């Protein structure tokens, strides 16, 4: 009777190495995910140099109109297994962070910016501001949240921002109300805190350009 060679079921060493390498790649693609707070540094992109200061502006701290929301909260990522990563701004104060971003933007537009106390958001309130200011600016935070969900190796993000800006011209006793809202979506293959940070900072730049395109 003709005999057949025995088949070996042992995986070649090269196959084991390939399997381990593939596993490592999948682990990287899935991202480092752990529950708990993650801190974001919101800032106007540093690639934009500040312009020459030719005008002056008074800027009031943003007013956070969100209800039942911690003042530093900006969103969460739903992880596999029902756990969540919570995202908050550095300093845990979104109003302070957005005020700082707006100040950097105005400086880029050529304004010398002075922080001023809250003022009545009316033409009369503008008339009480020093005429040395070419503009006075205030804003309300109506909604600000990024909801993200991890699905396998990718993370899908939905960012909703709703702000109302108030732009006053003291020498004319005029005020303009500027509502700006946007919803952006993005899917990341490799998610990271830095990518979420960049996503939000880019969105804020877009909002500020839209709100103050006439400056």
Q: Residue 165 sits in which domain range?
A: 33-211
Binned at pLDDT 50, 70 and 90, residue 13 comes out as low
DSSP-derived secondary structure letter, 108 = H
Whether 106 shows a pLDDT value over 70: the answer reads yes
Distance CA 132, CA 130 (A): 5
Binned at pLDDT 50, 70 and 90, residue 46 comes out as confident
In a domain, 96, yes or no: yes
Poorest-pLDDT segment among 58-62, 81-85, 114-118, 182-186: 81-85
In a domain, 16, yes or no: no
In a domain, 11, yes or no: no
Whether 7 shows a pLDDT value over 50: the answer reads no
Binned at pLDDT 50, 70 and 90, residue 170 comes out as very high
pLDDT in tens, 119-128: 999 999 999 9
The arithmetic mean of pLDDT across residues 10-17, rounded, is 50
Distance CA 152, CA 31 (A): 10
Beta bridge partners of 154: 151
Number of domains the chain is built from: 1
In a domain, 169, yes or no: yes
The arithmetic mean of pLDDT across residues 181-204, rounded, is 94
The arithmetic mean of pLDDT across residues 111-139, rounded, is 95
In a domain, 23, yes or no: no
| Residue 157 belongs to domain with CATH number | 3.40.50
Binned at pLDDT 50, 70 and 90, residue 81 comes out as confident
Whether 8 shows a pLDDT value over 50: the answer reads no
Distance CA 28, CA 34 (A): 14
Which pTM value belongs to this model?
Answer: 0.82
In a domain, 1, yes or no: no
Binned at pLDDT 50, 70 and 90, residue 104 comes out as very high
CB-based burial label for 12 (10 Å; 0-12, 13-18, 19+): exposed
The arithmetic mean of pLDDT across residues 179-183, rounded, is 97
In a domain, 18, yes or no: no
The arithmetic mean of pLDDT across residues 41-69, rounded, is 89
pLDDT in tens, 15-31: 554 444 444 444 444 44
The arithmetic mean of pLDDT across residues 171-184, rounded, is 96
For 59-80, give the DSSP string: EEPPEE--SSS-TTEEEEEEPT
- Residue 35 pLDDT: 67
- Residue 23 pLDDT: 40
Whether 200 shows a pLDDT value over 60: the answer reads yes
In a domain, 8, yes or no: no
The arithmetic mean of pLDDT across residues 37-66, rounded, is 89
């Amino acid at each position: 009777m003709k005999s057949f060679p025995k088949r070996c079921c042992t995986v070649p060493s090269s196959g084991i190495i390939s399997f381990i390498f593939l596993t490592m790649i999948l682990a990287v693609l899935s991202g480092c995910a752990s529950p708990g707070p993650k801190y974001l540094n919101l800032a106007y992109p540093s690639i934009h140099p500040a312009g020459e200061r030719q005008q002056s502006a008074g800027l009031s701290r943003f007013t956070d109109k969100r209800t039942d929301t911690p003042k530093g909260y900006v969103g969460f990522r739903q992880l596999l297994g029902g756990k969540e990563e919570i995202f908050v701004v550095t300093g845990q104060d979104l109003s302070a962070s957005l005020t700082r971003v707006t100040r950097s933007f105005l400086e880029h537009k050529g304004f010398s910016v002075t922080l001023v106390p809250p003022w009545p958001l009316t033409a009369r309130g503008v008339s009480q501001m020093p005429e040395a200011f070419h503009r006075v600016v205030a804003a309300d935070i109506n909604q600000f949240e990024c909801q993200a969900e991890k699905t396998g190796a990718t993370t899908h993000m939905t960012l909703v921002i709703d702000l109302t800006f108030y732009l006053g011209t003291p020498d004319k006793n005029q005020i303009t109300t500027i509502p700006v809202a946007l919803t952006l979506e993005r899917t990341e293959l490799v998610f990271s805190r830095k990518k979420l940070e960049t996503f939000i900072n880019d969105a804020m730049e877009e909002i500020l350009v839209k709100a103050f395109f006439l400056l």
